[in-house]
Amino acid sequence: MSEIIIKNISIGDELLIGQVINTNAAWLGEQLSGAGFQLDSALTIGDSEKAILDAFNACMDADLVLVTGGLGPTADDITKPTVCKFFDTELEFCQAAYDNIVSIFNRRGFQMSERNRGQAMLPKSCQYIPNTYGTAPCMWLEKNGIVFAFMPGVPYEMKGIFNDELLPRIKERFHAVPYEKRVIMTTGIGESFLADKIKGWEDHLPDFLSLAYLPQYGMVRLRLSGKHENADFLRKTLDSEVEKLKALISEYIFAMQDQPIERTVFDLLINKGMTFASAESCTGGNIAHAITLIPGSSEVFKGTAVTYATPMKTKVLGVPSETIEKHGVVSQEVVEGMATGVCNLMEADFGVATTGIAGPSGGTEENPVGTVWIGVASAKGVVSKRFNFGKERENVINRATIMAFEMLREEILAHTENAVS
Amino acid sequence: MSEIIIKNISIGDELLIGQVINTNAAWLGEQLSGAGFQLDSALTIGDSEKAILDAFNACMDADLVLVTGGLGPTADDITKPTVCKFFDTELEFCQAAYDNIVSIFNRRGFQMSERNRGQAMLPKSCQYIPNTYGTAPCMWLEKNGIVFAFMPGVPYEMKGIFNDELLPRIKERFHAVPYEKRVIMTTGIGESFLADKIKGWEDHLPDFLSLAYLPQYGMVRLRLSGKHENADFLRKTLDSEVEKLKALISEYIFAMQDQPIERTVFDLLINKGMTFASAESCTGGNIAHAITLIPGSSEVFKGTAVTYATPMKTKVLGVPSETIEKHGVVSQEVVEGMATGVCNLMEADFGVATTGIAGPSGGTEENPVGTVWIGVASAKGVVSKRFNFGKERENVINRATIMAFEMLREEILAHTENAVS
């Protein structure tokens, strides 16, 4: 059976004048790939009847059209009337949509307005799909056997509806070609050196598998993926290729799932029943933010002291002010004092600390912008390293955060190895 | 003179499987708007000859087509031959392109490969535009009076070439209609209530102006924009309409620029020479992370105590353990104790604190998931409020962070007003 053609249309002037970056298309592409489908194109257009009609008409060679955006309660949304024109139908009141809007307003404790009632007016011939994430409706319409599914443009709502409601319906309606992927997370080796190390293996991969290199902030994700009608054969081939790959680069692999490094640290700590705390200067709370995005992080994370102002390193963390005066705030001595200090203060098994110059100003000859010291303290003592993460502030913060988790991961492993030996 | 039609085509499989988010389209849209042009659509397609030819053929109603991507040393196996097919020409060696590639390799101290030499083979009928940012060429071709401009997909290279080389050529070739926009940032009022409040004004806007609502996490951005041949008249009309709008909703406006609320707080504090610190439980360091992304934030931000583990609220912030036992960790008494505690600990003018249940577990009947207490302390005392930010963890964290900054903003203003009166 041949693969179906799937197109995405994103509606919204804000996407075309650059006020909002369209992240929905990439997200939908990723979800579809994972489910054995393939996104063929993604078109962004403005809030204009002509643009919408032209875009719909250009989809008459597709099997499935996923439309996002243009369904809010305000006047700039002209999608629904245009949908009626294209599908030769008219708006009518939909009780189920109305009840959903009422329940959302009740839950949030807000009063409903006439305008919100208007959101329950839907094209007569559409199949209404409930959106429990917001008041905009989700709709399923067909023309010449082509399915058009409409979702709100707000990413949080779109993602929820797609996963909960649309994807199951799509899977039921269309044939998916089994797809599988394996992600191997590596760190400590650059993309081209990695490529050289695995070239012999990569050159002999079967045709239906492909390898992608995804470098990001001091790590390289390897994604080995493929499609095959025989799902079992696909899975077995992937597994055996991954085993060969692991044998070649085992020392650089830190996870076999596509997950951020803080997730790996979280899993390790949960497993060992241990905890950590952070003392953050240049990372400004980003280590804490990353770990606390994980549900259940309170099991492994005690807390953080962001000591942005220098005197707080002394007052909160107990780093002697003489140490700061003598060695400077961006130094091995200070980062080690911070790591040890927060470990004691928060009564954690591990304390991780950062101090550096995120930029754009504040650099010196000795410590140019991008210089970051990272330290990890535990009952065993404290280790620290100096890095330079470049000139761009957000980049420095992100790279320092990832490296702090990587150093923490290594210390957790070292700690356990010693305990075992 | 009528406006020209501009379309963008982005080529790359990685954009369709969600490996890379297409940020080029939004950036180009923003640049074009600012220069008095308008991006009509942005299409993303994969690295396939058929997809590229279909996309080019769908542009025969445009005046200008901006193509990005598909010109790297590996991907151009498809794009350049397809370009030749569409423009009925063939590849030939371009000395200027070759010299450019050689000079880039020399600058970087790398050895050139045969593959890189291939990058100097360009369609015969193209006008070569030098790319000093990388080895991929920039090309200008015409068919039936329609201009096709090809740029590399790497954002850094694309942006450089577009600004240095392409935009000047586009301005010379096409007529621009002056464009202006104003952004009004509001909070504390929902999209539909805002729309009701300003309906009378919105209905009487001149035809050449349009209003867009951009809701996000407890705030709504309003964008009033327009185009007019008379730039002076356009500017004056926008200014006077914005004044009318401000009079209608002044109490909800927190900024007149398109900026996050932490930026508004930063500007206010810089202005007043004051500082703040945060005590974060459910926001887990996100307040600190948001403010420290701003260069120079050390001027206004003292630090943060993320007291994720309950005993740390007592040990680090001095909230009495009896208060926690009596009222529970998610309570007015605790959030006020945290705010006051961190204000004193960090020696700041304001202390902002959060405690709540980000979910997905941990909710109770009294305090369901999404319940968040936010408090702000200053020399004047402490204020606090209870919220429910819904069920989705990341959403709860983001909305609580924005609301914490909003409450902090209100307190800074109240503080100053009192000081003046």
Contacts B40 to A, Cβ<8 Å: 16, 45-46, 51
Question: Do B336 and B279 belong to one domain?
Answer: yes
Residue owning tokens 């005590």: B279
Nearest-by-CA chain A residue for B390: A108
Q: How many residues does chain B have?
A: 421
User: Following DSSP, what letter does each residue of B216-269 receive, concatenated?
Assistant: ETTEEEEEEEEE-S-HHHHHHHHHHHHHHHHHHHGGGEEESSS--HHHHHHHHH
Question: Do B107 and B127 belong to one domain?
Answer: yes
Is residue B292 situated within a structural domain?
Answer: yes
Q: What is the pLDDT of residue B146?
A: 97
**Contact state of B304 with A305 under an 8 Å Cβ cutoff:** yes
User: Following DSSP, what letter does each residue of B402-420 receive, concatenated?
Assistant: HHHHHHHHHHHHHHHHHHH
Q: Per residue, what are the HEC states of B259-294?
A: CCHHHHHHHHHHHHCCCEEEEECCCCCHHHHHHHCC
Does A216 score more than 80 pLDDT?
no
Whether B64 contacts B4, CB under 8 Å = yes
B243 vs B157, which has greater pLDDT? Answer: B243
Q: Per residue, what are the HEC states of A239-301?
A: HHHHHHHHHHHHHHEEECCCCCHHHHHHHHHHHHCCCEEEEECCCCCHHHHHHHCCCCHHHCE
Q: Which of A11, A227, A308 to mutate to test the interface with B (most CBs of B within 10 A)?
A: A308
Listed residues A117, A138, A173: the one ending a domain? A173
Instruction: Name the residue among A26, A115, A292 with its Cβ closest to that of B284.
Output: A292
Q: For residue range A372-404, what is the model confidence (pLDDT) as tens digits?
A: 999 999 999 999 999 988 878 988 999 899 999
Q: What tokens does A188 get?
A: 């400590």
Instruction: Name the residue among A289, A297, A316 with its Cβ closest to that of B286.
Output: A289
**Contact state of A303 with B301 under an 8 Å Cβ cutoff:** no
Whether B38 contacts B32, CB under 8 Å = yes
Residue owning tokens 């951005």: B221
DSSP state of A323: H
The CATH number of residue B349's host domain is 3.90.950.20
Q: Which of A6, A7, A23, A44 to mutate to test the interface with B (most CBs of B within 10 A)?
A: A44
Does A75 score more than 90 pLDDT?
no
**Contact state of B392 with A156 under an 8 Å Cβ cutoff:** yes
SS3 A175: coil
Nearest-by-CA chain B residue for A401: B289
Q: What is the pLDDT of residue B77?
A: 65
In chain A, the percentage of residues whose pLDDT exceeds 90 is 69
Q: For residue range B272-331, what is the model confidence (pLDDT) as tens digits?
A: 999 999 999 999 999 999 999 999 999 999 999 999 999 999 999 999 999 999 999 999
Distance CA B421, CA B417 (A): 6
Average pLDDT, chain B: 91
Contacts B287 to A, Cβ<8 Å: 285
Distance CA B135, CA B133 (A): 7
Ramachandran angles phi, psi of A58, nearest 5°: -80, 0
Whether B234 contacts B228, CB under 8 Å = yes
Q: How confident is the model at residue B418 (pLDDT cuts 50, 70, 90)?
A: low
∠ CA B264-B267-B270, rounded to 5°: 150
**Contact state of B30 with A43 under an 8 Å Cβ cutoff:** no
CA distance to partner chain B, nearest, from residue A421 (Å): 32
Instruction: Name the residue among B211, B288, B311 with its Cβ closest to that of A306.
Output: B288
Contacts B361 to A, Cβ<8 Å: 295-296
Is residue B1 situated within a structural domain?
Answer: no
Domain that holds residue B386: 261-420
Instruction: Name the residue among A289, A297, A308 with its Cβ closest to that of B303.
Output: A308
Q: What tokens does B395 get?
A: 């959403």
Nearest-by-CA chain B residue for A160: B392
Q: Could you tell me how far CA A194 lies from the centroid of its own chain?
A: 24
Q: For residue range B45-62, what is the model confidence (pLDDT) as tens digits?
A: 998 899 999 999 999 999
Distance CA A70, CA A119 (A): 12
Is residue B78 situated within a structural domain?
Answer: yes
Contacts B210 to A, Cβ<8 Å: 13, 76
Average pLDDT, chain A: 91
Instruction: Name the residue among B223, B309, B394 with its Cβ closest to that of A298.
Output: B309
Residue owning tokens 């997809």: B51
Contacts A14 to B, Cβ<8 Å: 212, 214, 223
Beta bridge partners of A387: A372
Contacts B259 to A, Cβ<8 Å: none
In total, how many domains does chain A have?
3
User: Following DSSP, what letter does each residue of B171-209 receive, concatenated?
Assistant: HHHSPPPPEEEEEEEEESS-HHHHHHHTHHHHHTS-TTE
> Which of A151, A213, A167, A224 lies closest to A32, judged by CA?
A167
Is residue A406 situated within a structural domain?
Answer: yes
**Contact state of B16 with A394 under an 8 Å Cβ cutoff:** no
Does A353 score more than 80 pLDDT?
yes
Question: Do B89 and B155 belong to one domain?
Answer: yes
Listed residues B141, B173, B205: the one ending a domain? B173
A8, HSE (Cβ side, Cα atoms, 13 Å) = 34
In chain A, the percentage of residues whose pLDDT exceeds 70 is 96
SS3 A146: strand
CA distance to partner chain A, nearest, from residue B163 (Å): 16
Is residue A31 situated within a structural domain?
Answer: yes
Residue A414, amino acid:
A
β strands within A105-218, DSSP E? 121-123, 127-129, 138-143, 146-151, 179-187, 209-216
DSSP state of B5: P
> Which of A374, A317, A376, A316 lies closest to A341, judged by CA?
A317
Chain pair A-B, CB pairs under 8 angstroms: 273
CA distance to partner chain B, nearest, from residue A223 (Å): 10
Q: What is the pLDDT of residue A357?
A: 96
Indicate the pairing of strand B6-11 with strand B39-45: parallel
Nearest-by-CA chain A residue for B36: A17
Q: What is the pLDDT of residue A420?
A: 44
Is residue A282 situated within a structural domain?
Answer: yes
Instruction: Name the residue among A19, A38, A44 with its Cβ closest to that of B223.
Output: A19
Q: Which of B308, B345, B402 to mutate to test the interface with A (most CBs of A within 10 A)?
A: B308
Residue B137, amino acid:
P
Q: How confident is the model at residue B161 (pLDDT cuts 50, 70, 90)?
A: very high
**Contact state of B306 with A308 under an 8 Å Cβ cutoff:** no
Q: Alpha helices, DSSP H only, in A4-92?
A: 13-16, 24-34, 49-57, 79-86
Distance CA B348, CA B277 (A): 6
E strand or H helix at A225, and its extent?
strand A219-227
Question: Do A195 and A119 belong to one domain?
Answer: no
CA distance to partner chain A, nearest, from residue B93 (Å): 28
The CATH number of residue A100's host domain is 3.40.980.10
Distance CA A227, CA A343 (A): 48
Instruction: Name the residue among B15, B210, B397 with its Cβ closest to that of A26.
Output: B15
Distance CA A271, CA A251 (A): 21
Listed residues A173, A197, A217: the one ending a domain? A173
Q: What tokens does B252 get?
A: 């909800």
Instruction: Name the residue among B33, B221, B306 with its Cβ closest to that of A285.
Output: B306
* Rounded average pLDDT over B357-384: 94
Is residue A86 situated within a structural domain?
Answer: yes
Whether A413 contacts A298, CB under 8 Å = no
Distance CA B127, CA A37 (A): 39
Nearest-by-CA chain A residue for B29: A17
CA dihedral A114→A119→A121→A127, nearest 10 degrees, is: -160
Question: Do B101 and B19 belong to one domain?
Answer: yes
Question: Do A284 and A404 belong to one domain?
Answer: yes
B100 vs A148, which has greater pLDDT? Answer: A148
Q: How confident is the model at residue B237 (pLDDT cuts 50, 70, 90)?
A: very high
Distance CA B148, CA B150 (A): 7
DSSP state of A390: -
Q: What is the pLDDT of residue B421?
A: 38
Does B250 score more than 80 pLDDT?
yes
Beta bridge partners of B49: none
Distance CA B215, CA B198 (A): 16
Q: How confident is the model at residue B76 (pLDDT cuts 50, 70, 90)?
A: low
Q: How confident is the model at residue B420 (pLDDT cuts 50, 70, 90)?
A: very low
Does B111 score more than 90 pLDDT?
no
Q: Note the pTM of the prediction, 2 decimals.
A: 0.77
**Contact state of B192 with A51 under an 8 Å Cβ cutoff:** no
Q: What is the pLDDT of residue B74?
A: 57
Question: Do B194 and B330 belong to one domain?
Answer: no
Q: What is the pLDDT of residue B105?
A: 77
> Which of A271, A353, A281 lies closest to A310, judged by CA?
A281
Residue A392, amino acid:
E
Q: For residue range A130-140, what is the model confidence (pLDDT) as tens digits?
A: 888 888 889 99
The CATH number of residue B215's host domain is 3.30.70.2860
**Contact state of A394 with B293 under an 8 Å Cβ cutoff:** yes
Q: How confident is the model at residue B114 (pLDDT cuts 50, 70, 90)?
A: low
**Contact state of B22 with A42 under an 8 Å Cβ cutoff:** yes
Nearest-by-CA chain A residue for B18: A26
* Rounded average pLDDT over A138-161: 94
Is residue A1 situated within a structural domain?
Answer: no
Instruction: Name the residue among A26, A293, A296 with its Cβ closest to that of B21.
Output: A26
Q: How confident is the model at residue A193 (pLDDT cuts 50, 70, 90)?
A: confident
Question: Do A269 and A412 belong to one domain?
Answer: yes
* CB proximity list for B368: less than 8 A, separation 6 or greater: B357, B388
Does A262 score more than 50 pLDDT?
yes
Distance CA B12, CA B9 (A): 10
Question: Do B267 and B188 belong to one domain?
Answer: no
Q: What tokens does A289 get?
A: 């933010």
CA distance to partner chain A, nearest, from residue B377 (Å): 18
Whether B330 contacts B357, CB under 8 Å = yes
Whether A33 contacts B18, CB under 8 Å = yes
In chain B, the percentage of residues whose pLDDT exceeds 70 is 95
> Which of A88, A166, A95 lies closest to A123, judged by CA?
A88
Question: Do B280 and B160 belong to one domain?
Answer: no
Whether A18 contacts B33, CB under 8 Å = yes
Indicate the pairing of strand A138-143 with strand A127-129: antiparallel
Question: Do A271 and A408 belong to one domain?
Answer: yes
Whether B16 contacts A41, CB under 8 Å = yes
Rg over alpha carbons for chain B, rounded to the nearest Å, is 27
**Contact state of A295 with B359 under an 8 Å Cβ cutoff:** yes
* Rounded average pLDDT over B333-349: 97
**Contact state of A361 with B296 under an 8 Å Cβ cutoff:** yes
Q: For residue range A14-57, what is the model confidence (pLDDT) as tens digits?
A: 899 888 899 999 999 999 998 999 999 999 999 899 999 999 99
Task: Report how far apart, in Å, the C-alpha atoms of A344 and of each of A6, A304, A341, B15, B313 are.
Answer: 56, 12, 5, 46, 15
Question: Do A335 and A186 belong to one domain?
Answer: no
Q: What is the pLDDT of residue A217?
A: 67
Q: How confident is the model at residue B108 (pLDDT cuts 50, 70, 90)?
A: low
